[in-house]
Structure 1
Amino acid sequence: MKRIVYDKYGSVDDLHAVEVNKPIPDKEQILIKVKAVSINPLDWKILMGEVKLVSGKKFPKSVGCDFSGTIESIGQGIQKFKAGDDVFGVINPFKEGVLGEYILVNEKEIARKPANLSFEHAAAIPTAGQSALQMLTKNVNSIKGKEILINGASAGVGMFAIQIAKSQGAIVTAVSSAKGHHLLKKWGSDYVIDYNKEEVTNLRKQFDVIIELSAKLPFRKVKKLMKPESTYITVIPSLWNFVHSFSNNIVSGKKYKILLMKSDTESLNRLASDALKGIDIHISKTYPMSDYKEAYKTIIKEGALGKVVFNILS
């Protein structure tokens, strides 16, 4: 079977395809024939060695964490799934990768894919969808009627965050470049801002929640945009952010939180159900697995609207 791996931290050019034996599940594992894999920024952050303290020094490593596919075989201890089930999920990206023809997972990492949801759309859900869901349900009290600012809103997490926030009655201001504004409006944003034309920190408005997805709007710059009792959430798990958030939250009503997404089957099922009910999952481009270098180089350079997905249906 083919698998995309790297033997050292570096750049996209260090990725290469290898032939390896198809894995065999042990008693508690499930073997999945992969059908689609979506790209997340964490893929290249790990590849480039930005989180070495967590990802470690063991090589080779594979890339990617979100996937969908069909169960080919199961271990004797598996009770909830069977061969032939279509599933989707996310693995721990610091330990394994999913960009290949087959992967081994455990029951807690997957959920059944609804028949009416494509493999590509299912693979686009896990990390982005659960991150947005956990930001708005576990890190914030009821958001009905609250003012929410989402910076870097046109990619995967923003796509889900806007729609989830609107479904719960929030008032959303979304920030991106102009090329993403048609999607921000489609997803339901009340206000849209082009960061190339307007400096977000100069807004004459305060928010109950600020979600930072671009790594360009640090807490110190947006404190003046926060109401006295409000929440700032970032997806950047740097040591500095942990230290700063800890010291800030002891003394301030303006809370500084760092999202550490934890996947669970219940969240995956909820998001799949939302997709069937009409939540938009925009896939801006699909690549064959053989174009892995082009795909990663393009998204790193140009960004993506919604999600980018590898199709591994053959």
Structure 2
Amino acid sequence: MQAAQITRYKQAIPAINQVPIPHVENDDVLVKIVTASINPIDLKTKDGGLKMLLPYQMPLTLGSDFAGIIVKTGAAVTQFKAGDAVYGRVQKNRIGTFAEYIAVDQGAIALKPNHLSFVEAASIPLVGLTSYQALHDVMNLQAGQKVLIQGGSGGIGTIAIQIAKWLGAYVATTTSSKNFDLVRSLGADKIIDYRTEKFQDILHDYDAVLDTRGGQTLEDAFKIIKPGGQVVSIAGLPNARFAQAYGLPLWKRLAFQFVTRRLTALEKSSQATYTFLFMNPSGPQLASLTPLFENGTLKPTIDRVIPFNQLQEALRYSHSGKATGKIILQIADPAEMGN
């Protein structure tokens, strides 16, 4: 089969190589991948940004989430069968969805939502789970609370706004003026043009912030948070509390404690809680979101679909930060498989 691989971190262009079809363990299903989405974590992985957390072996096939059709099941698989259309975010130690096939644990997938195409389905798993876990599991966002979601027109933002509104929150977001109509249609109550305005000069007394940018933008989030509030980041630095909960060795916990001392000081001065979120793949949780996509409560936002053989262009566009919603790789034609 074909797979997009790197042999070293910061490799400019992944090579599309011929590799063996993955072996199927007892709890695995083998999926013929139809579509896969490109996420910022794929770029970070390629460039070595996650090697402190996930020291991958080379060569490494990239890609984190997908939609496809099961072609084989392991001996212990009871939830799925060959021919099922599924979608999912694979386990972090078994990434590799930029490929024609992947073996994935049955606990990491769910049946594809009815009435959604494979393109739409592939756009959901990583951003849907990340948004739900940030807003529901970590923040425990309640009706009437105020949340700022950075980058409302991005892959995370377009889903996070909708989930926050479903939870009953008042949602502020940042984007450029050309995307105002989009984020307003998704439910945003307050829209800030990050090119001409500073959110920290406009917002105050917010219950929560979902940071997708890191750096100075993350630090500025503490200026609008009220005492007892929460700042959750998917782009900042893991702190020592995260490292301990994740079971990292002492030297890594100390390293994270050192590099996040500025965030720790902001956390204390604002009387808020800072959480670095490393999303947990979960088929059952994805399945719980599926009805919301089936009934139209949540809607995917697709920027463009790019053929697998144009992966370089897809990664370049992702790196530009200009995408509105998700970038999808078309790996196979579902019509050729009778779906």
* CA separation of 1:179 and 1:19: change in aligned 2, threshold 3 A: same
Aligned-residue offset at 1:291: 0.5
Is 2:144 aligned against 1:141?
A: no
Is 2:34 aligned against 1:35?
A: yes
The one-letter amino acid paired with 1:197 is T
Q: Corresponding residue for 1:167? A: 166
The one-letter amino acid paired with 2:305 is T
Question: For structure 2, which runs of at least 5 residues remain unmatched after alignment?
Answer: 243-256, 334-339
Q: Corresponding residue for 1:202? A: 201
The Cα offsets for residues 52-81 of structure 1, whole Å up to 9 and x where unpaired, read as 223325210011110011010112221111
Q: What is the total number of aligned residue pairs between the two structures?
A: 313
CA contact (8 A) 2:24 2:73 kept: yes
> Bigger shift: 246-255 or 160-169?
246-255
Q: Corresponding residue for 1:193? A: 192
CA contact (8 A) 1:207 1:230 kept: yes
* CA separation of 1:256 and 1:12: change in aligned 2, threshold 3 A: same
Aligned-residue offset at 1:270: 2.1
Question: What SS does structure 1 have at the residue aligned with 2:102?
Answer: strand
d(CA) in 2 for partners of 1:204 and 1:288?
A: 41
d(CA) in 2 for partners of 1:159 and 1:250?
A: 31
* CA separation of 1:97 and 1:53: change in aligned 2, threshold 3 A: same
The one-letter amino acid paired with 1:97 is G
Aligned-residue offset at 1:87: 0.6
Q: Corresponding residue for 1:253? A: 271
The Cα offsets for residues 236-291 of structure 1, whole Å up to 9 and x where unpaired, read as 25245853466766786311111121121222112221111111211010011001
Q: Corresponding residue for 1:262? A: 280
d(CA) in 1 for partners of 2:130 and 2:212?
A: 11
d(CA) in 1 for partners of 2:51 and 2:141?
A: 36
Aligned-residue offset at 1:214: 1.8
d(CA) in 2 for partners of 1:223 and 1:273?
A: 35
Question: What SS does structure 2 have at the residue aligned with 1:192?
Answer: strand
> Bigger shift: 204-213 or 36-45?
204-213
Q: Corresponding residue for 2:229? A: 230
Q: Corresponding residue for 1:291? A: 310
Structure 1 segment 1-314 matched on structure 2, within 5 A: 1-13=1-13, 15-56=14-55, 58-203=57-202, 205-236=204-235, 238-239=237-238, 243=257, 244=260, 253-278=271-296, 279-314=298-333
* Identity among equivalent pairs (%): 30
CA RMSD of aligned residues (A): 2.0
* CA separation of 1:191 and 1:46: change in aligned 2, threshold 3 A: same
CA contact (8 A) 2:229 2:273 kept: yes
* CA separation of 1:22 and 1:155: change in aligned 2, threshold 3 A: same
Aligned-residue offset at 1:218: 4.4
> Bigger shift: 16-25 or 234-243?
234-243
d(CA) in 1 for partners of 2:238 and 2:289?
A: 31
CA contact (8 A) 1:129 1:156 kept: no
> Bigger shift: 184-193 or 90-99?
90-99
CA contact (8 A) 2:172 2:191 kept: yes
CA contact (8 A) 1:149 1:173 kept: yes
d(CA) in 1 for partners of 2:104 and 2:203?
A: 49
Question: For structure 1, which runs of at least 5 residues remain unmatched after alignment?
Answer: none
* CA separation of 1:71 and 1:139: change in aligned 2, threshold 3 A: same
Aligned-residue offset at 1:201: 2.0
* CA separation of 1:130 and 1:165: change in aligned 2, threshold 3 A: same
CA contact (8 A) 1:66 1:98 kept: yes
